[in-house]
Structure 1
Amino acid sequence: MTDAHSSAAGPATILVDADACPVKEEIYRVAARFGAQVRVVSNSLFRVPVNEQVQRVVVSDGFDAADDWIAAAAGPRTVVVTADILLAERCLKAGARVLAHNGKPFDAASIGSAVATRAIMEDLRAGMDGPLGASGGGPLPFSKTDRSRFLQALDRVLTALR
């Protein structure tokens, strides 16, 4: 297996938090164009392209096992694709670039407020009674605009890592 911390001369590695990732196909296409390695990390099997640049990494179904694997592999030559704010924070601390599925970058300037907002929303949901309970709300539906924004953002990050 290629180490996600390969040297600056080597290809970048894209680590995909795959369980709820709606842009896996886009990641494969962009990675092929840039010669980047892709690690599709999940708790269950996913179909991945038959391609030496793409590897499926199936971890145990233990709590946060996929997040722990991704955070341990993250480094300066990696791009992490996740919607998980706490995982994004861990990967940023390891020097990785982090993108949400909608193309929004997580960075040192934005992660603190994202973590705080997540905590506030978690507290609000925990305090709700009635039919919405802890599952009320949620993210907006994924759109074509989100997909396009993600493609542009991934292209920019991989260009910067070249």
Structure 2
Amino acid sequence: MNDDRPYVTILVDADACPVKEEVYRVALRHGAAVKVVSNSLFRVPDHPLVARVLVGDAFDAADDWIAALANPRTVVITGDILLAERCLKAGAQVLAHNGRPFDAGSIGTAIATRAIMADLRAGFDGPGGGPPPFAKADRSRFLQSLDRVLVSLARG
């Protein structure tokens, strides 16, 4: 490992991520690199540990880029269950935006629930529901979870 480069990298699936500012704050405190991956431009802090990665408009371009870099020294931040599964298979730690960790024990249930909900939505003609609103408690849980994962990876 080159001492000039951080040992842990956080890959953020940024297009729909409500916790980017929290990621920057925790990552910089721990000295972790952050790659903000998206299909559109986002403002990122001017810091050597933070990089914006703009991928093409192709379907799943951001997911493919993130999954290709995922490894045991990465933390992936995403709400995309299928991307979470790909990254877990690569050995990455994966957190949802609300701080809930995806792991080998929970990913199968999450995928099954996703499929059931998709089927239910397909047969429903009324107004859409969607996920519950993002709450202050979700933001707090995310901060604690990300900090805990980074501490764990630093211990090695």
TM-score between both structures, scaled by the size of structure 1: 0.91
Assess, with a 3 A threshold, how the Cα gap between structure 1 residues 42 and 27 changes in structure 2: closer, same or farther: same
Q: C-alpha distance in 2, partners of 1:59/1:10? A: 23
Residue of structure 2 in register with 1:138 after alignment:
130
SS of residue paired to 2:41: coil
Count of matched residue pairs: 152
Q: Which amino acid counterpart does residue 150 of structure 2 have in structure 1?
A: L
By how many angstroms is 1:126 displaced?
A: 1.0
Structure 2 residues not aligned, in runs of 5+: none
Q: C-alpha distance in 2, partners of 1:76/1:137? A: 36
Q: Which amino acid counterpart does residue 50 of structure 1 have in structure 2?
A: D
By how many angstroms is 1:137 displaced?
A: 1.4
Match of 1:148 among 136, 140, 154: 140
TM-score between both structures, scaled by the size of structure 2: 0.94
Q: C-alpha distance in 2, partners of 1:36/1:90? A: 22
Q: Do the aligned partners of 2:10 and 2:75 also contact (CA within 8 Å) in 1? A: yes
Which runs of at least 4 in structure 1 moved beyond 3 Å after TM superposition?
none
Identity of aligned residues (%): 74
Structure 1 residues not aligned, in runs of 5+: 1-5
Q: Does the alignment pair 1:15 with 2:14? A: no
Q: Which amino acid counterpart does residue 136 of structure 2 have in structure 1?
A: K
Pairwise CA RMSD of aligned residues? 1.4
